[in-house]
Structure 1
Amino acid sequence: MKVEGGLGKRIRTRFGQRASLALAMVLSVGLSARMPAQPPSPSFIASVTDRALPAALEELTAFLAIPNDGNYAEQVEANLTWCRDRFTELDYTVIRLETPGQPLLFAEHTVDPELPTVLFYLQIDGQPVDTSAWDQPNPYRAVWKRKNEDGRYTTFDRDPADLDPELRLFARSASDSKGPAISFITALDILRSEGIAPAFNVKVIMDFQEEMGSDDLPGAVAANRERFDADFLVIMDGTRHVSNEPTLTFGARGIATVTMRLFGPAYALHSGQYGNFAPNPVFAASRLLAAMKDESGRVLIPGFYDGVKLTEAEKEEMNRVPESREAIRAMVGIAENEALGDSYQEALQYPSLNVRGLRSGWTGKEVRTLIPEDVVIELDMRLVPETPGERQVNLLRQFVAERGYHFVDSIPTEEERLQYPKLICFTSSLGSVPFRTDLGTPIDRWLTAAIRRGLGREPVRMRTTGGSQPMGPFVNLLGLPAVSLRIPNPDNSIHAPNENLRLGNFREGIAECLAVLTQAVPGG
């Protein structure tokens, strides 16, 4: 008896040598997959992963060929159609969720109503591309590259049998985040072909505008709250720790940005005629910025760190991450690091204040002997759950006001220029919000045990990532314990030209997903 339709075809093409007659009969009569008495062994996971890897690479390459810039509705629709068809083949119930912007896709499979439920988040869109900046004709047409002795990568025609873990697949979204999505889908495929049910009920939300901020995701949750009910949330996004060891990340910092424009004379003045008479706003800006931080790097704005307290137990746990400040200094090329916290991981637990841009006057061949009329300062502040963005922005604004600045909405009037010696335009924007799940909780023990079984190694467990993730409001609205399962190599050129995914990381990602999907959820 043959299994007909898309699923049967996929089983024959992917796992033909293992799609037994008994399995075909089980699938054809619609019987439930078996629940193993014990979770699959490491050797079983390694074996089925290796057998599935060639077909998974082919599918990833085909999926990458679908452009996925979330700014374009037709590209969103093409990727949504692919995902809908793929999860339908896996016998999932698939629902399109309309939003004011682009739609989302939701899929679910109930193994047993009495079992716990895990919600998986998949990012499907990618950053826009500048084809001229890539070292290949088309960023959506994946190419294989091998590293030469000089450290450079050379394109070559890979033999399908060549599964060297050090090979790299170069394409937009190879790592962020179609690679992780295909790792997860491949694991589901393997379980189905083996007749093994996941150890819990599975829900999946697919986001097609993550790179644009996922603005519609919280609203979709609010409008479909019961649909998203789950015990845990696993985020299939993000890059591994710099060690490239298996990584779990338990939170992300948020972000707020501020633009300050300090005004000098009404127009640029000749420095010979007006030097020593008209104040140069660059010096005022320098004094203002210097007052914000001490020489050790600690922010001096009153209340900036209020609420952040790390216990000795928390410090001990987060500092298990295999890294050192000396190694990180060597990697980024600095002689001395700022002194907030006793380690790099501790530093990530605090809000930060950064000057991300400055503009005033001219430099280089355009330099002119002028006193500039203004200085523009661009700041970003990374946030932690204890330091909400609105509070941090208000603290900064108050700090500026206490130094005698008069605030204007745009260009100051003539009257304001003659009345106030210190004039500033202060604008702000709140971006991603922070979120965090505590270490040592059930979701931590569950995922750590799964990865230990799947790969035979302990994962790096990071309390938070230094960057921000736009799904923060989504996580906080759900109120679920949420952890990022990170698969891509840390040197993947994320968001940049020549984004890539290491073959060995993709293989380990499949194995990790298999282990997670077959690891019983605590209490289940």
Structure 2
Amino acid sequence: MRIFSALFTLLVFTLSAQDINKLADQHIQENGVQILQDFKTLLSMPNVAFDLPNINKNAAYIIKELNKRNVETKLLRMVGTPPIVYGYYPVKGAKRTLAFYVHYDGQPVDKSKWTNDPWEPVYYSEAMFNDGKPMDFPSKYDDINENHRIYARSAGDDKAPIITILTALDMIQQNKLKVTSNLVFFFEGQEEAGSDQLHQYLNDNRELVDEIDLWLFCDGPVHQSRKPQLVFGVRGVTGMEITTYGPNRPLHSGHYGNWAPVPGQLLSSLLASMKDDDGNVIIEGFYDDIEPLSEIEKEALANIPPIDEELKKELGINDPEGTESYNERLLRPSLTIKGLSSGNTGKLARNVVPATATASIGMRLVKGCDPEKQQDMVEAHIQKQGFHIVREDPDQETRMKHSKIAKVTRSSGYPAARTSMDLPIIQEVITRSKDVAGDDLILMPTLGGSLPLYLFTDVLNKPAIILPIANHDNNQHAADENLRIGNLWYGIKLMGALMTME
């Protein structure tokens, strides 16, 4: 039974998205300075998932801000995990319920890699890579340029949508506009840590989510062409670590080189056997389970502007993997070497044959791929290369039995998800979003990154799409993460339009 019963009836005017755009522009002009200050306040709170005291400060702040806007809230808690901030905004006569998902946690930071303190937001005249300079935060709207940027952890991933949602509610309420859907706000605090408890949170609170008709995931960047996009799927994710073994202790390379097996060479040969010269995965069966696109998805893919040449210049890449376009490559599962270690390099290099070598492997999955099955395929390939697989470091007996040993440590993961573009409620969102973004709006079948979207599409059996607003060059997950101010303004308009769509 729904825990909230209050119905808000003071919002009475229904407007087109074009009118919403105008009102949003006016609201931004009148309140832009305060919006940026509020964003700065939120970004100043450290938000790494395992830092529970600070995570709870973030949750308390968001609860307070939602309550100011007549949203009834509830903090969903499990012992030892970041809470879910849940909000409900019921509307009399609403024909649907929309849920806005945002995660308020961020990636851990290595402060030594940042230009500024990641928890002390800094305002820049432009992107750093365009020679942007630090400035004071604006004191009047005339000082705000859409190309200005805010640098801080979670500026682009994923606190910006929280500010756009709060601001859209302010604009709607101050102009007495009609909200046309019941609104649910579901803000998670451990997405960057893997969302390990999200499934349990959803199961334990089914009465709060069962009536939701559509989940709107507010995460990710706009397209690399800098055009806005709606995304209808995400890749799944899994991975593993592989360790190969040489001698049971490091050996002097002069005395034992050319005789003792070198684990780094064993590992590099193994990894090289997993891909061909074009970067395609040649592990048997790796691409077999890909679910094909529908006709409407194929049409959407064909209409996405090509960006390969621009990306090559931007990223300094001469020869990308594969022969397909960037957008097409997102529709195939990937296998990436995320990290390698064996011995030392540079000034710390020593004349030794190291005892071990380790590689961290990441796999991004597309619709149809099962995480465990993909891991099974990789392990089968490792065995075909002559390796004996173990789960723990091998003992002396195991070492003497096998010439090549690989310890495989599997990572957890989850499958990909994709929502059909031709559902009536999805078509309504597309139409409304185009009224805000114009004909430049890109309909992207699948985003390159991963989110636990399958919990909503495959477990709750509800459609879910992604509303990205961050600039594509926001340094997501990296040092000097940032948000372009124009993208923040776009997000406010989009949230306001969707909250008021007929």
TM-score (ref. length: structure 2): 0.89
Question: Does the CA contact (< 8 Å) of 1:454 and 1:514 recur in 2?
Answer: no
Aligned to 1:9: none
Confirm or deny: 8 A CA contact 1:64 1:141 kept in the other structure: yes
Moved more, 147-156 or 458-467: 147-156
2:83 aligned residue: 103
- Tell me how far 1:269 sits from its aligned partner: 3.7
Cα distance, 1:402–1:56 mapped onto 2, change above 3 Å:
same
Q: How far apart are 1:320 and its partner, in Å? A: 1.9
How far has the Cα of 1:30 moved from its partner? Answer: 7.3
Secondary structure of the corresponding residue to residue 183 of structure 2: strand
Aligned to 1:304: 286
Partner of 1:323: 306
After alignment, is 312-321 or 151-160 more displaced? 312-321
Partner AA of 1:373 in structure 2: A
Residue 351 of structure 1 is matched in structure 2 by: 333
**CA shift at 1:197, angstroms?**
2.1
Q: 1:371 to 1:97 in 2, by over 3 A?
A: closer
Aligned CA RMSD, in angstroms, stands at 2.6
1:34 is matched with which residue? Answer: 12
1:516 paired to 2:494:
no
1:472-497 CA-partner distances (Å, limit 9, x unpaired)? 53554322211111111122222333
1:397 Cα deviation (Å)?
0.9
Q: Deviations over 1:431-463 (max 9, x none)?
A: 344222233433442222222212434312222
Write the distance in 2 (CA, Å) between the matches of 1:264 and 1:111: 66
- 1:210 maps to 191
Give 1:216 deviation, angstroms.
2.1
Q: Report the Cα offset of residue 334 of structure 1.
A: 2.3
Residues 237 and 362 of structure 2 are in contact (CA less than 8 Å); yes or no, is this contact kept in structure 1? yes
Aligned-pair CA distance for 1:205: 0.7
C-alpha distance in structure 1 between counterparts of 2:8 and 2:185, whole Å? 22
Distance 1:376 1:60, change over 3 A: closer
Q: Report the counterpart of residue 144 of structure 2 in structure 1.
A: 163
Give distance in 2, aligned partners of 1:423 and 1:30: 65
Cα contact 2:224–2:307 (8 A) shared by 1: no
Query: The residue matched to 1:468 in structure 2 has which SS?
Result: coil
Q: CA deviation at 1:286?
A: 3.3
| Aligned pairs (5 A) from 1:234-313 | 234-311=216-293, 313=295
Quote the residue 1:119 is aligned against.
99
Percent identity, aligned pairs only, is: 32
Matches within 5 A, 1:315-464: 315-339=298-322, 342-464=324-446
**Unmatched runs of 5 consecutive residues or more in structure 1:** 1-28
Q: Give 2:182's aligned residue.
A: 201
Q: Could you state the TM-score of these two structures normalised by the residue count of structure 1?
A: 0.86
Q: What is the number of residues matched between the two proteins?
A: 490
Paired residue secondary structure (2:133): strand
The alpha-carbon distance between structure 1 residues 252 and 222, as it changes in their structure 2 partners (threshold 3 A), is same
Which runs of 5 or more structure 2 residues have no equivalent in the other structure?
1-6
| AA partner of residue 330 (structure 1) | K
SS at match of 1:292: coil
Cα deviation 1:169-216 (Å, max 9, x = unaligned): 223322222222111111111111111121211111111222222222
SS in 2 for 1:119: strand
Shift of 1:427: 1.3
Q: Is the 8 A contact 2:8 2:91 kept in 1?
A: no
Partner of 1:191: 172
For 1:213 and 1:492, how far apart are their aligned partners in 2? Answer: 21
Q: What residue in structure 1 maps to residue 463 of structure 2? A: 481
Is residue 239–residue 486 contact of structure 1 (8 Å, CA) maintained in 2? yes
Residues of 1 paired with 2:350 and 2:67: CA distance?
65
1:63 corresponds in structure 2 to 42
The alpha carbon displacement at 1:92 in A equals 1.9
Kindly provide the CA deviation profile for residues 294-345 of structure 1, in whole angstroms up to 9, marking residues without a partner as x: 11222111111112153583334213222232222222222222226x3211
Query: Is contact 1:120-1:202 (8 Å) kept?
Result: yes
Tell me the equivalent position of 1:4.
Answer: none
2:4 equivalent in structure 1 = none
